[in-house]
Amino acid sequence: MIGRYRLVHALGWLTALLLLALLPLLAAWWQAPPVRERLIEFGVSLGLIGLGLFLVQALTSGRLTWVAANYGTDNLAHFHRHLGLFAVLFVLARPLLLMIARPEWTSYLDPRVDWMRATSLWTLLLALLMIIISSQWRSKLGLSYEHWRALHGLLAVIIIVLGSGHALMVDHYLTALWQKALLVVMAAAGAGLVAWTRLVRPWLLRRRPWQVESVRPERGGARTVVLTPIGHQGLRFLPGQFAWFSFGDSPFTLQQHPFSLAGSTSSGQICFTADEVGDFTASLKHLEKGDPAWVEGPFGAFIPDPDPDTALLLVAGGIGVTPFASLLRSFRDRGLSHRVLLVYANPSPDQAALAEELEELCTNESRELVHVLEHPPFGWQGATGQIDRGLLQRCLDRLSDHNGPLQVMTCGPEPMMDIVEVAMREQGISWQRIYAERFEIV
């Protein structure tokens, strides 16, 4: 197992991250000037902490596989949002507290006094407000993910450059050459990581092109896109992971979206299955055999325990079944003997994507598929309604004859996953054995 829930690793990484974020403040304290009013010192300290948090934000973006592999992209996305919120609040608190302590310092924002200084400060303040507003209320603002991502990267670089430049130009707390060099290195590293994910990685993808092999319709209007590698060995991934996909002649595009890898890990090809829920997924039906494609990944730690003694309770809602399709296909091709119980919820049978193949994959004694239909057809003998505690308890009872450990994995609508997580905890299952893939990164 990748170790997504290893507490020691998580605490070690968090400690290292916070120490990096505190470096600007620690450097200022190491060779500090005479102490001024407490409110001023407090405001400056908050500003330096906020700046440090911004400088390390690129590490928590979820696009660095050596970080995301251990903690999960969903976890990092939540952490990134909250860390960014604290960074913005800390940086904004600095000028507010300083101007309360010294009202005459409001002149720093007056372009008539110093046009360049005032312009840079207003630009920094507006960038801070824009990055938090666009991130917290993107959907309400009608901002597409593609345009938000481009704007987010641009604002991040502006904040890093102007924030670091302001700290250096003030020349009060960071006066020594080594202090200035430290801040420049951190700023360059932060901006460099943003450039790496937005510019360098797409450039590197040109060496690993893919092409569309086929596009086939599935139940409920979903489509499965199969890709073939061109001139390379393909993608090594684990069942449950995902990748970012784009189509067109160049990997430099705003239209890049994440999908779970739905195929077998033993296949040279890769595939994903997606519902038609937006412009990007609606365009998939127009893809033709031979169209160029680009794949960045794999990402994610939503993977099963490889120990064959581990039983797996998989709970899927709608298109959230795709990572479990990869798992079952991979287990079949690799001859793995995990005990698997898949609970698959849909509004009706004609909306259950991949249902026929999943039924074929769950025909032996160690695999079981339980369909749950909200609107069942006449004569339906299976489970009905929605996934609830009672149904989950019956599923656990079916696995009670298994003597090994249990891992619970769930993917689908948020309310369903909330029910699964709470119900499993109520049954005494450790949170370390409950995996949820929420895909809240777009």
Q: In this predicted model, what pLDDT tens digit does every residue of 77-127 receive, in sequence order?
A: 788 888 899 999 999 999 999 999 999 999 999 999 999 999 999 999 999
Sequential DSSP letters for 383-437: EES---HHHHHHHHHHTTT--S-EEEEEES-HHHHHHHHHHHHHTT--GGGEEEE
End-to-end CA distance of the chain: 26
Q: In this predicted model, what pLDDT tens digit does every residue of 377-395 receive, in sequence order?
A: 988 888 899 999 999 999 9
Handedness of CA 26, 27, 32, 33 (dihedral sign): negative
- What Cα–Cα distance (Å) separates residue 392 from each residue in 134, 224, 386, 415, 424? 38, 29, 11, 14, 8
Q: In this predicted model, what pLDDT tens digit does every residue of 404-437 receive, in sequence order?
A: 899 999 999 999 999 999 999 999 998 888 998 8
What are the structural domain ranges in the chain? 7-205, 210-299, 311-437
Angstrom distance (rounded) from CA 156 to CA 128: 9
User: Is there a contact between 258 and 299 (Cβ–Cβ < 8 Å)?
Assistant: yes
Q: In this predicted structure, what is the pLDDT of residue 6?
A: 59
Angstrom distance (rounded) from CA 44 to CA 174: 12
The reply to whether 311-437 shares the fold of 210-299 is no
Q: In this predicted structure, what is the pLDDT of residue 439?
A: 66
Question: Is 331 in a helix, a strand, or coil?
Answer: helix
Q: In this predicted structure, what is the pLDDT of residue 155?
A: 92
Bridge partners for 409 per DSSP: 314, 435
Q: How confident is the model at residue 212 (pLDDT cuts 50, 70, 90)?
A: very high
Tokens 């409001």, located at residue:
106
- Here the tokens at position 101 are 């302590």
Which whole number is the average pLDDT over 51-77? 74
Q: How confident is the model at residue 4 (pLDDT cuts 50, 70, 90)?
A: very low
CA angle 191, 195, 201 (to 5 degrees): 150
Q: In this predicted structure, what is the pLDDT of residue 442?
A: 55
pLDDT surpasses 60 at 349: yes
Question: Is 336 in a helix, a strand, or coil?
Answer: coil
Which whole number is the average pLDDT over 266-281? 89
CATH 3.40.50.300 fits 311-437, yes or no: no
Angstrom distance (rounded) from CA 379 to CA 367: 25
In 197-238, beta strands by DSSP E = 210-217, 223-229
Q: In this predicted structure, what is the pLDDT of residue 403?
A: 83
Angstrom distance (rounded) from CA 259 to CA 244: 6
User: Is there a contact between 229 and 210 (Cβ–Cβ < 8 Å)?
Assistant: yes
Q: In this predicted structure, what is the pLDDT of residue 440?
A: 59
Alpha-helical regions (H) of 57-144: 65-71, 73-101, 115-136
Which whole number is the average pLDDT over 21-36? 88
Bridge partners for 215 per DSSP: 225
Number of Cβ within 10 Å of residue 239's Cβ equals: 25
Residues contacting residue 229 through CB under 8 Å, at least 6 positions apart = 208, 209, 210, 235, 268, 269
Angstrom distance (rounded) from CA 218 to CA 355: 9
Q: In this predicted structure, what is the pLDDT of residue 2?
A: 40
**Fold exhibited by the domain 210-299:** Elongation Factor Tu (Ef-tu); domain 3 (2.40.30)
Q: In this predicted structure, what is the pLDDT of residue 230?
A: 96
Is this structure's pTM higher than 0.75? Answer: yes
Q: How confident is the model at residue 62 (pLDDT cuts 50, 70, 90)?
A: low
Tokens 């990869």, located at residue:
326
Q: Tell me the average pLDDT of the chain.
A: 88
The residue among 295, 304, 298 whose CA lies nearest residue 329 is 304
